[in-house]
Amino acid sequence: MNKNFLIQVHNRVKPYIHKTPVLSSQLINDIAGCSIYFKCENFQKMGAFKMRGAANAILNLSEEERQKGVTTHSSGNFAQALSLAANKIGIEAFIVMPENAPEVKKKAVRGYKGDIIESGPLPKEREEMSIKVKEETGATFIHPSNDDDVIHGQGTAAIELLEEQPDLDYIFTPVGGGGLMAGTALAVKYFSDKCKVVGGEPKNADDGYRSLQSGKIEYNDSTNTIADGLRTNFGDRNFPIIKDEVERIILVEEDEIIEAMRLVWERMKIIIEPSSAVAFAALLKEKEQFKNKEVGIIISGGNVDVTNLPF
Amino acid sequence: MNKNFLIQVHNRVKPYIHKTPVLSSQLINDIAGCSIYFKCENFQKMGAFKMRGAANAILNLSEEERQKGVTTHSSGNFAQALSLAANKIGIEAFIVMPENAPEVKKKAVRGYKGDIIESGPLPKEREEMSIKVKEETGATFIHPSNDDDVIHGQGTAAIELLEEQPDLDYIFTPVGGGGLMAGTALAVKYFSDKCKVVGGEPKNADDGYRSLQSGKIEYNDSTNTIADGLRTNFGDRNFPIIKDEVERIILVEEDEIIEAMRLVWERMKIIIEPSSAVAFAALLKEKEQFKNKEVGIIISGGNVDVTNLPF
């Protein structure tokens, strides 16, 4: 791993992604007491950074592998990302989704031409179905966050952010399965001399915070958080990077997430999903510590049901 | 009036406004069947294009006039715009608002350091209070839409749009008091050889449509529309420009406004107010006529109560 390797990753995915804008707001800066640069992956194709990792993973497959397609189990943004990336690259995507997944999520996957295979609702049933799909189709399984190519792809958002704002002191990301955070940590390691990575995580799904404390991957007994993209845990591919490179993880309450989300909606006029608001909420929570700093925040996505808002 | 005059207007207001981004979406283009360039005045200071006209009007005052401040009657975006522009330029703004105006709107004006003077709720009471304020303070009254300097200032959004997209066939604006539409028409006249201006207007407040038909300023008996910024009528300063330069006005139903608004929120992840959605709804309504054209749309603003949405 070195800077050139990540530049190659970036060049590889560029034709399949948007170079998303970096936005700032004086009002938000006044509230936070520092200069914030929001990397707007809510404007990314399919509405989230996941497109970057999905594209990179597929583009790294051999011709033979591509012919058999790809598969994953996800009912969230990665299901849409893999479907769209596969479609753009011209291969098949088999998406294992629990039969009780919301119709709106199934519809989104179908809209991006993913083939949905339904499984039972339990994690075990989902995994068994994934194995079955893999055996029957020969498709390559791509994990939403614990996959080297996915991690490297997700890091390209931070590369673009640092290209625009090379003097950042910190980059905040939300803490979910660890793909975005590990990718961001690698980008920061090779593209900045001083920048540090900080995570924001819901207190109600604090596996990441506890993992950094204990030094091993921890799990959640319950994940009662509005930030539905952050209910997953780290894996053996991304946790070693996070353990070595990430400065700290800040926990936030549910009402702090909702307040941060509303602030961005009202002041910046952009739609961000609750998971994205967690990183900003973490900065606000400890704003004294980041006073007058230059802070990047990865706005991870904007896929939210506008008919069912928390405010 | 000529091109140089409008360039001077633009240079005058530039230090007080954002050069807002122009955004596009492949998904939206596929739905509409043409190439759309959204000029995002929802990202403008105070969240609407009105900042442009307010700044230009104040900057054109003499030193003596500035010392006595400015006044207007508005409970909408112009109240906020005049307050903020006055504050930035360092003069006083007296905003006449009906005593029953929503607290959130009064709060916004106070946030931008406007001095609120309450009047009775009737138009007549509002105007009497305006005259009283003018007499007592000597402040210059600035009309939200029927004022030459305001009209010229609003036109700078279209100037910026045409600088970025010089080959536009059409620019759509919402039809309210006529300031934005007349300013856009002037910009198009002097900055494009082929572009035409089209208006979108709520059927439930169709005074503009009827004015173009009859050739004189018409009024609304009722204005039962969600597009609360479009309930006003043309005036003697802007209507002559609109009559000469505007191609046509397309009327849209309330459900079409809401659907267009939701489409932009969900697909583009940006927050636009109902009045802004009217221009896009008008394009969608007659999309066969604009097939494969290059179309600019002025997204007039993003000030919407996110706790009270129509979907």
For B116, what's the count of Cα atoms within 13 Å in the CB-facing half-sphere?
A: 23
Amino acid at B83: S
Give A12-35 pLDDT, tens digit per residue. 999 999 999 999 999 999 999 999
**B252 in the Ramachandran plot: left (φ > 0), alpha (ψ -120 to 50) or beta?**
beta
Please tell me the distance in Å from B165's CA to the nearest CA on chain A. 19
> SS3 of A301, please?
strand
Q: In chain B, at which residue ranges do the beta strands (DSSP E only) sit?
A: 22-23, 35-40, 70-73, 93-98, 115-119, 140-141, 170-174, 196-202, 246-252, 294-299
- Cβ separation B43–A309 shorter than 8 A: no
pLDDT score of A93? 98
Domain map (residue ranges) of chain A? 3-48+149-299, 51-146
Report the chain A residue with the minimal C-alpha distance to residue B40: A269
Best A22, A38, A258, A269 residue to mutate vs chain B (most B CBs within 10 Å): A269
- Cβ separation B306–A307 shorter than 8 A: no
Model confidence band, residue B190 (pLDDT cutoffs 50, 70, 90): very high
Please tell me the distance in Å from B307's CA to the nearest CA on chain A. 5
Please tell me the distance in Å from A256's CA to the nearest CA on chain B. 17
Asked if the model's pLDDT at residue B115 lies above 90, the reply is yes
Of B268, B302, B306, the CB nearest to A309: B306
> SS3 of A250, please?
strand
pLDDT score of B195? 98
Whether the CB-CB separation of A168 and A294 falls below 8 Å is answered with yes
Please give the distance of CA A224 from its chain centroid, rounded to a whole number.
Answer: 19
What distance in Å separates the CA atoms of residue A137 and residue A131, rounded to the nearest whole number? 10
Asked if the model's pLDDT at residue B104 lies above 90, the reply is no
A122 vs B212, more confident: B212
Q: Please name which of B78, B14, B54, B38 lies closest in space to residue B151, comparing C-alpha atoms.
A: B54
Q: Which chain B residues touch A if contact means CB-CB below 8 Å? A: 21, 23, 42-43, 47, 262, 265-266, 268-272, 302, 306-307, 309, 311
pLDDT score of B7? 98
Residues of B in contact with A23 (CB under 8 A): 43
pLDDT score of B102? 84
Please tell me the distance in Å from B20's CA to the nearest CA on chain A. 11
Looking at CATH, the fold of the domain delimited by A3-48+149-299 is given as Rossmann fold (3.40.50)
**Mean pLDDT value of segment B235-240:** 98
Q: Which chain A residues touch B if contact means CB-CB below 8 Å? A: 21, 23, 42-43, 47, 262, 265-266, 268-272, 302, 306-307, 309, 311
Q: Could you tell me which residues are beta bridge partners of residue A95?
A: A72, A116
- Cβ separation B309–A311 shorter than 8 A: no
- Least confident residue range of A102-106, A155-159, A172-176, A250-254: A102-106
Give B62-78 pLDDT, tens digit per residue. 999 999 999 999 888 99
Please tell me the distance in Å from B27's CA to the nearest CA on chain A. 10
Best B77, B269, B270, B300 residue to mutate vs chain A (most A CBs within 10 Å): B269
What distance in Å separates the CA atoms of residue B74 and residue B180, rounded to the nearest whole number? 16
- Cβ separation A270–B269 shorter than 8 A: yes
Expressed in angstroms, the distance from the first to the final Cα of chain A is: 44
Asked if the model's pLDDT at residue A74 lies above 90, the reply is no
Amino acid at B239: F
pLDDT score of B121? 86
pLDDT score of B103? 86
Residues of B in contact with A307 (CB under 8 A): 311
pLDDT score of A146? 97
**Mean pLDDT value of segment B89-95:** 98
Name the average pLDDT for chain B: 96
Asked if the model's pLDDT at residue B157 lies above 90, the reply is yes
Residues with Cβ within 8 Å of residue B151, at least 6 apart in sequence: B53, B145, B179, B182, B183, B186, B237, B238, B241
Give A205-264 pLDDT, tens digit per residue. 999 999 999 999 999 999 999 999 999 999 999 999 999 999 999 999 999 999 999 999
Of B262, B271, B309, the CB nearest to A269: B271
- Least confident residue range of A123-127, B55-59, B96-100, B110-114: A123-127
- Cβ separation A269–B307 shorter than 8 A: no
**Mean pLDDT value of segment B215-227:** 94
- Cβ separation A309–B309 shorter than 8 A: yes
Report the chain B residue with the minimal C-alpha distance to residue A42: B269
> SS3 of A299, please?
strand
Burial tier of B202 (Cβ tally within 10 Å: 0-12, 13-18, 19+): buried
Helices of type H across A14-122: 26-32, 50-59, 63-68, 77-89, 103-111
User: What proportion of chain B, given as a percentage, has pLDDT over 90?
Assistant: 93
Give, for B173, the enclosing helix (H) or strand (E): strand B170-174
**Mean pLDDT value of segment B288-309:** 96
Residues of A taking part in catalysis: 50, 75
Give, for A256, the enclosing helix (H) or strand (E): helix A254-268
Amino acid at A126: R
pLDDT score of B105? 87
**Mean pLDDT value of segment A120-136:** 91
Question: Would you state the structure tokens that stand for residue B103, as one six-digit string?
Answer: 């607290």
pLDDT score of B193? 96
Task: Say yes or no: ipTM exceeds 0.90.
Answer: yes
Task: Provide CATH code, domain B51-146.
Answer: 3.40.50.1100
- Cβ separation A269–B43 shorter than 8 A: yes
Model confidence band, residue A181 (pLDDT cutoffs 50, 70, 90): very high
Comparing A3-48+149-299 with A51-146, is the CATH topology the same? yes
Of A262, A302, A309, the CB nearest to B269: A302
Rg (CA), chain A: 18
